[in-house]
Amino acid sequence: MQHKSFRAMMCPIARTLDRVGEWWTMLIMRDAFAGFTRFEQFQLSLDIAPNMLTRRLQTLVKSGLLERRLYSNRPPRHEYVLTEKGRDLWPVLVTLAAYGNRHFAEHGVATRLVDRATGKPVEVVVADKGTGRILDQKGFKYSPGPKADAALKLRIRYADARQEGLSGRPEWEAFAKARKEKATRARTVS
């Protein structure tokens, strides 16, 4: 599947999507969280073409989310095991599943997250670990980090203006200008 690489983009969402932003990749990770490790297991679950599965597994190994491990010498056989970095993707899958159950389960819920001990279903929210506060767009916002460039800072100013109910027109103009200048510089360099 061809696409422009998001790797060079600064946005942390784009950077993650560059590695896992593809249907099959996310479903391979889902299966890995269910304890699947072998090629045949993923294939049975996903009903995917072998060459495509091979490529997706390679991508995940290269990105450090899965580790390819020899589990038999004769014949040589490998399995794909979650790394710590891979395990850390679990919250993303949990929010995706919760969203799917809320909005795309027209005919009922097939699977839902429950407390392992009590079996009680949970209602998934995102929260701040330190304070326990539930995160929402009203109380929280994206702010420039140390690596933010001028265009990104202006983009965030636009988002702030919009959130306050303003048109954000001057902020937009400034952002658009910076964005175009950045694109021109990128073309000049390459």
How far lies 58's CA from each of 2, 19, 25, 145, in Å? 16, 11, 10, 32
For residue 26, the Cα-to-chain-centroid distance in whole angstroms is: 8
Distance, in Å, from the CA atom of 29 to the CA atom of 56, rounded to the nearest integer, reads 10
Torsion of CA 71, 74, 78, 83, to 10 degrees: 30
C-beta of 19 vs 59, nearer to its own copies: 19
Q: How far is the CB of 52 from its own copies (least distance, A)?
A: 10
Closest CA to 144 of 155, 133, 136: 155
Q: How far is the CB of 114 from its own copies (least distance, A)?
A: 4
Q: How far is the CB of 25 from its own copies (least distance, A)?
A: 9
Both tokens assigned to 174: 């400034």
C-beta of 46 vs 57, nearer to its own copies: 46
C-beta of 57 vs 82, nearer to its own copies: 82
Backbone CA torsion sign across 51, 57, 59, 62? negative
Q: How far is the CB of 127 from its own copies (least distance, A)?
A: 4
Q: How far is the CB of 66 from its own copies (least distance, A)?
A: 14
C-beta of 39 vs 172, nearer to its own copies: 172
Do 70 and 77 form a contact (C-beta atoms < 8 A)?
yes
C-beta of 35 vs 76, nearer to its own copies: 35
Do 14 and 6 form a contact (C-beta atoms < 8 A)?
yes
